[in-house]
Amino acid sequence: MFKSGTIYSNFTPLVKAPVIGYRISGDDVLNILKIITKKNFSKYHSLVQIVKIYKKDESILDECSVVYFKSPKSFTGEDVCEIFLHGSPLIASQFEQLLKDLKVPGLRLAKNGEFSYRSVLNSKNSLKQAKAINGIISNESFSGLEYNKRVLFEGDIVSGLVPLREEVINLFSEITASIDFVDDEHFNFNQIKKKIRKFFNNCNNLLHKSRTNIEQKNICRIMLVGPVNVGKSTLFNKIIDKDRAIVTDIKGTTRDILSNEFIINNKKFEIFDTAGQRSKQSKIEKYGYKKAQKVSKMIDHFFVLIDKNTKKSDILVLLKDFMINQNYSLIETKSDIYKYNSHNIKINYCLDRDKIYQKLKLSSIYHKYVKNNQKKTDFNLEEIDLLARILEYEHDLVNENDILIIAQQMRNILDDFSYEFGYINNEDVYDRVFSKFCIGK
Ligand SMILES: Nc1nc2c(ncn2[C@@H]2O[C@H](COP(=O)(O)OP(=O)(O)O)[C@@H](O)[C@H]2O)c(=O)[nH]1
Ligand SMILES: [Mg+2]
């Protein structure tokens, strides 16, 4: 993957937003900044500068903040600059065109992950830390987030795999040495086999512990159901704070099922909007309604939305269709135009988002379905996969009596660890053989 050259890429999505950010990394950063801003950045390491960016015809492309990081004190270890354009995809495309028109030899769009890759090559991050950045962004869970942050800020050492990695290097060194020094009394085949069994026992224990920690339920799933036009999509948009679902007063606008995750007060939810229930459904609506019924099996809690026009019998049909028992709240909508005299929750679209959260009692609903004992974890999902992969060797290795085959299999396990921690080479191994077993002293 690695090719030299100066690389650039947007680091925010190219969508309408307050800012769109670009990062450039490589030997030509100062040169590029000089051409596009007419300013020499060499003395401005790590300082925000507000500058104009000029197009080829000298007109102004944008006025924006730029930060320059002098090598090696940058994310990649190379010269880097970060440019915060006004968040217009049109400006972003003009900016990319400007970079292309510079015709700087080797200047090109970065490949996926190339900035992180360069940071590893230049020893700014370990392989594991680069992966942790990905883990932080990927929103696995709050415990996963805390773990990945510890890896990034404190280093590989916090990983629960570290003791196993040490164990496997020691074991492989011992096996290698036993092959090369067959007559040495240090190496007893039965001892080695005992250590192999112990190694796999440790793997099994760790896998069990980490799985129970990480697979704890940490999300509460809520579904909005109700008659057509009652205001489900309006509430859905309000809750996720996006104009994502189409809201109209034409009956049957929401024909498929939409879902979105949202987080409030460290609590993660997924909310589902559904097609409304009515006697005359179109074919696509019927399909959407059926799909929602299927998904309803994984739902923790339902908000059954009703208004003045909803009959008791409609509610009973909904409860039956979605197999709802006690796990629902009745919510009366459009309280700005209708007067209700019940104890049900009442909402309307004029309420702000926080007020809606409060009225819907989202916090207590969460605690009803999600246990609040998220444990600290020393693993992420990828590391758990690695443990499971290593355990696939267990049966063959424990039953193998040919030391050469055992050595080969252990090398395979070492290589699996290399994907997590960077390559473990034969020198690491031989260092231990000689220092630990005092051979040839
Ligand atoms: N007055 C009033 N109208 C609302 C309220 N919530 C939704 N509506 C309107 O009711 C219509 C149907 O809303 P929609 O969210 O599409 O209903 P859905 O079919 O249940 O998804 C739209 O015209 C909304 O603007 C509300 O609180 N007050
Ligand atoms: Mg709808």
Q: State if pTM tops 0.75.
A: no
221 CA to centre of ligand 1 in angstroms: 22
Question: Which ligand has an atom closest to residue 251 CA?
Answer: 1
Question: CB under 8 Å, gap of 24 or more: what pairs does 318-322 form?
Answer: 318/225, 318/226, 318/227, 318/277, 321/225, 321/277, 321/289, 321/293, 322/223, 322/225, 322/292, 322/293, 322/296
> Regarding the domain with residue range 7-121, which homologous superfamily does it belong to in the CATH classification?
Probable tRNA modification gtpase trme; domain 1 (3.30.1360.120)
**Residues facing 109 on adjacent strands:** 8
- Show Cβ contacts of residue 330 under 8 Å, excluding neighbours closer than 6 positions: 304, 306, 315, 344, 345
* pLDDT value of residue 177: 83
- Show Cβ contacts of residue 280 under 8 Å, excluding neighbours closer than 6 positions: none
Asked: is 219-369 a CATH 3.30.920.30 domain? The reply is: no
**Residues facing 282 on adjacent strands:** none
Q: What are phi and psi of 130, to 5 degrees?
A: -60, -40
Nearest residue (by CA) to ligand 1, atom 11, is 249
* pLDDT value of residue 278: 62
Tokens of residue 111, six digits: 């490949």
Nearest residue (by CA) to ligand 1, atom 7, is 231
Alpha-carbon torsion 323, 329, 330, 332, what sign? negative
Nearest residue (by CA) to ligand 1, atom 16, is 247
Would you list the DSSP string of 360-383? HTHHHHHHHHS-S-PPP-S--HHH
Q: Are 194 and 201 in contact (CB under 8 A)?
A: no
Ligand 1 pocket, residue 333 CB under 6 Å: yes
Write out residues in the chain with pLDDT < 50, as ranges.
244-246, 248, 252, 440-441
Neighbours of 142 (CB within 10 A): 14
DSSP H or E segment with residue 335: none
Q: Crossing angle for the helix pair 189-214 and 142-154, nearest 10 degrees? A: 130
261 CA to centre of ligand 1 in angstroms: 22
Domain boundaries, the chain: 7-121, 142-214+378-437, 219-369
Burial-class residue 59 by CB neighbours within 10 Å (0-12, 13-18, 19+): exposed
Nearest residue (by CA) to ligand 1, atom 9, is 231
Hey, what CATH topology would domain 142-214+378-437 get?
Four Helix Bundle (Hemerythrin (Met), subunit A) (1.20.120)
229 CA to centre of ligand 1 in angstroms: 6
- Show Cβ contacts of residue 167 under 8 Å, excluding neighbours closer than 6 positions: 199, 202
Ligand 1 pocket, residue 349 CB under 6 Å: yes
| The residue to which tokens 């670009």 are assigned | 22
Ligand 1 pocket, residue 336 CB under 6 Å: yes
Ligand 1 pocket, residue 227 CB under 6 Å: no
DSSP H or E segment with residue 268: strand 267-273
Question: Which ligand has an atom closest to residue 347 CA?
Answer: 1
DSSP H or E segment with residue 358: helix 353-360
Ligand 1 pocket, residue 334 CB under 6 Å: yes
> Which atom of ligand 1 is nearest the CA belonging to 252?
19
* pLDDT value of residue 293: 79
Ligand 1 pocket, residue 230 CB under 6 Å: yes
The secondary structure of the chain in percent helix, strand, coil, rounded to multiples of 5, reads: 45, 15, 40
* pLDDT value of residue 246: 47
CA-angle at 93, arms to 92 and 94, nearest 5°: 90
| The residue to which tokens 């009973």 are assigned | 316
